[in-house]
Structure 1
Amino acid sequence: MSALIKPELVFTYGDYASWPSEEQWELLEGVPYAMTAPSRQHQLVSFEVGFQIRSYLSGKSCSIYAAPFDVRLPANNEADELIETTVQPDLAVICDAHKLDDKGCRGAPDWIIEVLSPSTALKDMDIKRRLYERHGVKEYWIIHPTDTWLMVYTLGASGTYANHPRMYPLTDPVAVGLFPDLAIEWGFLQDRAG
């Protein structure tokens, strides 16, 4: 996790939008984090899970988007150029079409999935988990493709995630809280491992 270390500066989406398009960044509470290229295993998991979700959502009102896809998380109702948090989740499911525009998504997706990489694990499990909770992401999945486990956070009635997430091995299908008739299958990990 490499942050641009300039603690006296707070960057905004206005700054972020002006950075070179060939560079990939996330902006977390005004601090830019450079994103590294994902591994083959990361891409396999992201693509396969995204395909299952996309197939399920066909003909439904929700949409799925894969990184790079900007999700702007305003603290209040500030203008886009003043937003201090812009993330690029590996997968984001959005059920409110009013949140979508040509820039990506403004506001919390309903479901976010992050696939861990060594360089992003701490950021995904701590900083982004707190941000997603605060902004109201209803379901947050963290997938560890190498150690083959899944951590699931679900937003409770209090507007917070439980202190302890639900944990699953990536062996049996895992039902999605937002879509109880959808279960993500993990057979592709055994079929294509190595």
Structure 2
Amino acid sequence: MPQLGAKTGQFTYADYCRWPEDERWELIDGEAFAMCPAPTRLHQEFITECVAQIHPQLKGTGCRLYVAPFDVRLPKTDEADERVDTVVQPDIAVFCDRTRLDDKGARGAPDWVIEILSPATAARDQIHKRALYERHGVREYWLIHPVDRLLTLYRLGEDGRYGAPELLELIGRTEVAALPGVRIDWPAPEAFDL
């Protein structure tokens, strides 16, 4: 098996399931992308803060929150799992349609995705995944820029497309339009003790 970062060709979920468990990959339209070996501490601080706030707000809604590594299979139509050529691991994914959840992770789009940008994955998150999530109907897609303390927020319109992104500073409160009543209250920079 080729080493991390060296997979070329077109792959499916069947291939992905045979790769070593100590390697993390994503597939986007059959192309394999190596995941970073370990995110930065700042990246992890933002995930922890978001999860700590989101999880209690979902109580009683039927929605479920998952943190990477968590496989989200995105079939093009109704193809069998082994033929699916897109498998992603969003940093944070919220699913309100529980029929999409199974023992392998999820099959179908989350309602809300948050990606914490890192230098190694920023282009993929901002270009490839944005297009992918739009195509699969992710209702809200947030890209957190931890160093710059910015949020790029995409919301799916009635036409099934993301409109122009909102660019927000990570101050105050940001409401989640896809999940009424859910919000993030951004802590001050010094809260991260960096």
Please report the TM-score for the alignment, with normalisation by the length of structure 1: 0.94
CA contact (8 A) 1:74 1:107 kept: yes
Structure 2: runs of 5+ lacking an equivalent: none
Residue of structure 2 in register with 1:103 after alignment: 104
Residue of structure 2 in register with 1:22 after alignment: 22
Question: Measured at CA, do residues 137 and 4 of structure 1 come closer, stay the same or move farther in structure 2, by a change above 3 Å?
Answer: farther
The residue type equivalent to 2:24 in the other structure is Q
**Residues 152-184 of structure 1: per-residue CA shift (max 9 Å, x gap):** 10110000001x201110011111112232220
Alpha-carbon deviation of 1:13? Answer: 0.3
Instruction: Give, in whole Å, the separation in 2 of the partners of 1:126 and 1:70.
Output: 20
- What is the count of residue pairs matched by the alignment? 190
Question: What is the root-mean-square deviation of aligned Cα atoms in Å?
Answer: 1.3
Residue of structure 2 in register with 1:134 after alignment: 135
Instruction: Give, in whole Å, the separation in 2 of the partners of 1:151 and 1:20.
Output: 34
The residue type equivalent to 2:177 in the other structure is G
Q: Residues 116-131 of structure 1: matches in 2 within 5 Å?
A: 116-131=117-132
Alpha-carbon deviation of 1:5? Answer: 5.7
Asked if 1:80 is matched to 2:77, the reply is: no
Instruction: Give, in whole Å, the separation in 2 of the partners of 1:4 and 1:128.
Output: 21
Displaced runs of 4+ in structure 1, greater than 3 A? 2-5
Instruction: Give, in whole Å, the separation in 1 of the partners of 2:21 and 2:188.
Output: 32
Structure 1: runs of 5+ lacking an equivalent: none
**Residues 38-74 of structure 1: per-residue CA shift (max 9 Å, x gap):** 1000001011101111010122200000000000000
Please report the TM-score for the alignment, with normalisation by the length of structure 2: 0.94
The residue type equivalent to 2:25 in the other structure is W
Instruction: Give, in whole Å, the separation in 2 of the partners of 1:176 and 1:188.
Output: 20
CA contact (8 A) 2:153 2:166 kept: yes
Instruction: Give, in whole Å, the separation in 1 of the partners of 2:127 and 2:155.
Output: 15
CA contact (8 A) 1:3 1:31 kept: no
Identity of aligned residues (%): 49
Instruction: Give, in whole Å, the separation in 1 of the partners of 2:154 and 2:104.
Output: 27
